[in-house]
Structures are given as C-alpha cells and as structure tokens.
Chain A
Amino acid sequence: MGIYLPIAEISVNVFVLLAMGAAVGFLSGMFGVGGGFLITPLLIFYNIPPAIAVATGANQVIASSVSGVLSHMKRGTLDFKLGSVLLAGGVVGSTGGIYVFGLLRRLGQLDLFISLLYVVLLGTVGGLMLVESINALRATRSGAAPVLKKSGQHNWIHRLPLKMRFRASKLFVSVIPVLGLGAGIGFLSSIMGVGGGFIMVPALIYLLKVPTNVVIGTSLFQIIFTSAYTTLVHATTNQTVDVMLAFLLMAGGVAGAQYGAKAGQRLRGEQLRALLALLVLAVAIRLATDLFVTPPNLYSLSGVGLN
C-alpha cells in the first residue's frame, strides 16, 4: 500500500515503514538503545532525503524514549538532577548543531557530513563494543572471573572544579564534563537525528562512573527533551519533520520494542553486545561504501534557500 509523504514529497510503502519501525523497535528493546542511529541510515537507504531522515528520526526517538522512561520512573532508576544538568548542556549543543546543519545544507555538504559522522561514530563504537564483548565472551569461556572496574577509581575528570552532588547516582562530580557531554550529545542529535544513547550510556558509565542501573533511565530522560528540542528547531528552521513518516515508524517501533525486550532477556549480556556491535559495524560499512563508490550522477540540483 503506497502512501505519499507530505514533507519528503515521495511515495513509499506503508508496510515497509511499519516493518522498519518494528525491526528497529525490536532491536532497541533488545539492546536498550533508542534506535535513532539505525532509523536514520535505514531511511537514507530507502531514498528519503537525508535532511528529512535526520529531523524525522529525532521525532521518532521521542516516542521510544518516552515509553522507556515511563518504565524506569516506575522502577526509580532515573536521576532527575543529573538528567537536568545533561539537558542544559544538550540545549546548547543542539542549538549549535542546528546552525551547523543549516550551514552545511546551504553549502551542499550536509549529506556527506551526515554519512561521515555516522561512519566514524558507528565504526568506533561498534569496533570498541565488538572487541570488548569478544574479550568478555573469551573470559567467560575460559572460566576466569570477569574483571570489573572498581567504582573508587578516579580519573582526571574527577579533579575538575565546580563539583555538584547527584544523590540518585551516588556521585560527586564537576558539572563541566556533565554539561560538556550533554552538549556533545545535543550536537550529534541535531545533526544525526539520533538520541545519542549509544554514546551517552558508555560515556556515563566509563567517564563519569554513574551506576549502570541509573544510566539508561537517565540517558533516556534527557534524550526525550534533547530530541524534542531538536525536532522543534528542525520544524521551525528547516521544515524537514515529516509527521506522517515519523508516526508510521513510531507505531511499528513501540510494538516491536516490547517483543525485543522479551527476546533480550533470553540472551546473555556479552552475546547481546557482540550482536549489537556487529549490527552497528554493518551499518557503518554500508554507509562507508556509498562514500567511495562512484555515484551514478556526478551532478545534483538543489534550490537556493529551502529545499
């Protein structure tokens, strides 16, 4: 069944989009990530213009984050104070990101920049995760106890000034890296259409030493607001949010996420991480080949200003 997307201005198949949303929702439920980093490249592969894929991806991320946060709120695994400080940084980063987004679009370098960012980030994160999970799998196979980082260990981040206490996270840390992390995620969110969970979660665990059980809820909490802000700014400055497209993805996504969460309980942590790493790397490789393969048309047209 074909449907015409009002903003993307192309006809697409409803079932392809629902299935895409459900598949990504399933994976995001399984791995506990927002799924924005999969939705946006998938939309680009499906010939949705990158600018629209990014803005709509940000919109779709809100839905999956809301349903995630609700369950974390119930369990009490959410640090509102830490989330709010991250958010303050996020708004600044997001504003900067939208400005860069508009600038790159006018210069005609947006598509390239989005692809490059995806290749670099997904490649790095996927590679690190794969190495880490393979080591963990080897360690469990050889019977050795997994090596856990001691929570008492301090790094340079903990020597910065302007310290603040975050009770729910049992943390006493400078606000500078928290704001900085928020800003970085906000920037990526507006340029890549991702919530940034796949960077936020490891950064909170390894850099700020936030307890793992609080990390996902807090990260989702701040992602709701960062992507809401990103969506609003994209809608007003670039008019690139396609609600029809976003709604189809969300509808498939919220259903898929619940089944994914159930399936995820049956797999072991290291196996899950290895699978997710392979998936992330596959997307990165697919995007990277597009950068190097000779395009069928060297010339492209675009309007001056919008669209």
Chain B
Amino acid sequence: MKGLKALAAVALLSLTAAAPAKAQTPLTEGIQIGLSTDAVSITAGFSGADLTIFGSLENPDPLVARQGRYDVIVVLEGPPKPVVVRRKDRVLGVWVNLDSETFENVPVSYSVATTRPLQDITEPNSYKQLSLGASNLYMQPADAGDSPATIEEFTAALRERKAAAGLYSENVGGVQFLSQNLFRATVRLAPNVPVGTHKARAFLFKSGLFIKESSAQLEIRKSGFEQSIFRVAHDYSFLYGVFAISLAMVTGWLGRLVFRKD
C-alpha cells in the first residue's frame, strides 16, 4: 500500500516535469537557505551566540523524507586569511618557535551543523571531494615544496588550534527538519568570531549521495564604542598615536595637579 502511494507520487511528479522540459527527467531535489538579515552586528561584550538559518528542500521525495534519508549539512565559513602555524622546540632548555608553515586562504572560522553525525551521512571520500567539514578542508601550503609529513603535521595542528579557540566547531543534530520541506540549522558563532563576509552553505544529501548545494552571504560587523576605537586605530593610526600621547600627557599633568604632595 505504501509502495503504491510512492509510485503514484513519482508518476505525478514526472508528469508535471515532463510537460515543460524533456521527457523522462524526474524533478531533482534542490535546497534553498534564507537568512533573515544579510548583516549581523555584534557588540564588544559579545560572548558568542547561536545563529539560526532556515532552509527548505525543493521537490523532496516524500518517501525518502519520511524514512529520514535526506541529510542536510549547513556550514558558516568565515573569510579566508593566510595563517602561519609555528611549533615550539627546545633549544638549550628554552622553548623557541622553530619550525613554521604558512597556509593560504584558511577560513578564519568554520562552524558546521548537521542532521546526523558526519560519518553517518556519507563516505569520507565524498566529504573530501566537496571539501566539506573542518577535517576535510584543504589547507593550501604557501611553500608546496615542504615534505608531506610536515605539511600534514602542521595542518592537523592548525585544525586543532582553531577548534580549541572555538572557531572551528561542529554541531551534530544542529539541523532539524520542521516539516518535510522546511529545516532549521543552528550554527555556533564563537565569541571571537571574525568580522567580514561569511558564507553560509547548505549541502543536501539523499541516502548518502550528494545532491545539491546552495549558499548565501552574511556580513558580520562589530559595533559600539570599542569598535570605533579599533577602526580609528587602524584607519587613522597617526592621529590615534597623537591622541594616545596627548591623553598620557594630560593624565600625567592632571595627576600632578590633583594628587600633588610637595
């Protein structure tokens, strides 16, 4: 009975699809995500937050949906930046930064939300092909001539440090289906989330096969008094320096006036 219903549904779908397009092409599933805003402002006291992203499946197969064989992975990826990873070694008893490896285009942050644990959704190989998940991100070394073992060691250290700083995170079960089509993803924004253009990407899997990807952009800005200071220090650094000196001189002079003891 169940099977018959599913068949009917498929037939109906292919009928509607056949009309405008070529025959025999069943409607493929798609995925869409929407952000309620294209910019998020965080204040100086920001201590991390959860960002909710809503999305929907297009043309889901009701049978697959009911069996829970659709999986969604949502990633919020920070702006790419070059990073230097350094390793301390002991030289004459003192810990010194000795070896280093520079990587280009490392996403500053990378938060993942998934319907199920990553290993249950699809095979490691397809994650690698999609460059999906913090452990599958390809980190491009600036000096490709280094030995693969060294590059591997520093790549692992880079991921570990990023995870320890809360910048690379994974939220298993962070994607929930609200209905057959609608899902909600919760990704973690670390307290030290970098400012800039972040990219939200959603990946749809059906029975372990990658179907489609959709993305949206999100601007993260910092706001408030402290942020104005930061901006002035970087944009008008000379004036900022003059201000810092004047402030110190005035404070010293006032301190003498207020607290003088001679």
Contact residues of A between 235 and 259, Cβ < 8 Å to B = 235-236, 239, 241, 243-244, 246-247, 250-251, 253-255, 257-258
- Contact bitstring B210-246, A, C-beta under 8 A = 1, else 0: 0000000000000000110110011001101111110
Q: Do residues B245 and A231 form an inter-chain contact, with CB atoms below 8 A?
A: yes
Q: Does B2 contact A (CB under 8 A)?
A: no
Tell me the chain A residues, 269-302 only, with Cβ under 8 Å from chain B. Answer: 291-295, 297-302
| Mask of A1-42 contacts with B, CB within 8 angstroms, 1/0 | 010111101010000000000000000000000000000000
In the complex, whether A70 has a CB less than 8 A from a CB of chain B is yes
B249's partner among A66, A109, A294 (CB-CB below 8 A) is A66
Tally of A-B Cβ pairs under 8 angstroms: 175
**Which of A57-65, A85-93, A140-148, A164-172 lies at the interface?**
A57-65
Q: Is A121 an interface residue (CB 8 A)?
A: no
- Of the listed stretches B7-15, B29-37, B80-88, chain A binds B80-88
Question: Closest Cβ of chain A: how far from B241's Cβ, in Å?
Answer: 3
Given A67-B255, A239-B237, A254-B254, is A301 in contact with B85 using a C-beta cutoff of 8 Å? yes
Chain B residues whose C-beta falls within 8 Å of the C-beta of A109 in the assembled complex: 96-97
* Interface size in chain A (residues, C-beta < 8 A): 58
**Is A108 at the interface (CB under 8 A from chain B)?**
yes
Alpha-carbon distance between A65 and B45 when the two chains are bound, in angstroms: 33
Contact A236–B227 (Cβ < 8 Å): no
Chain A residues with CB below 8 A from B227, complex form: 6
Contact for A241 among B233, B254, B255, B256, CB less than 8 A:
B233
0/1 interface trace, chain B 242-262, chain A, CB 8 Å (1 if under): 111101110111111011111
- A228 adjacent to chain B (CB < 8 Å): yes
Q: Report whether B84 and A62 are in contact in the complex, using a CB–CB cutoff of 8 Å.
A: no
| Count of interface residues, chain B, beta-carbon cutoff 8 Å | 54
B224 to chain A minimum Cβ distance, whole angstroms, is 8
Query: B73 within 8 Å of A by Cβ?
Result: no
Q: Please tell me which one of the listed residues B158, B244, B261 contacts residue A243 in the complex, with CB atoms under 8 A apart.
A: B244
Given A6-B229, A236-B238: A299 touches B87 (CB 8 Å cut-off): yes
B244 touches A300 (CB 8 A): no
**Structural contact, A254 and B252, CB atoms closer than 8 A:** yes
Residues of B within 8 A of A162 (CB): none
Contact of A44 with B by CB under 8 A: no
Compute how far the CA of A291 lies from the CA of B230 in the bound complex, rounded to whole angstroms. 31
CB-contact partner of B84 in A257, A292, A304, under 8 A: A304
- What 8 pairs across the A-B complex have the smallest Cβ distances? A254-B255, A66-B252, A235-B241, A62-B248, A4-B44, A299-B157, A258-B259, A63-B252
Jot down 7 A-B pairs with beta carbons below 8 A, ordered by A.
Answer: A108-B86, A232-B242, A235-B238, A247-B247, A255-B259, A295-B95, A299-B160
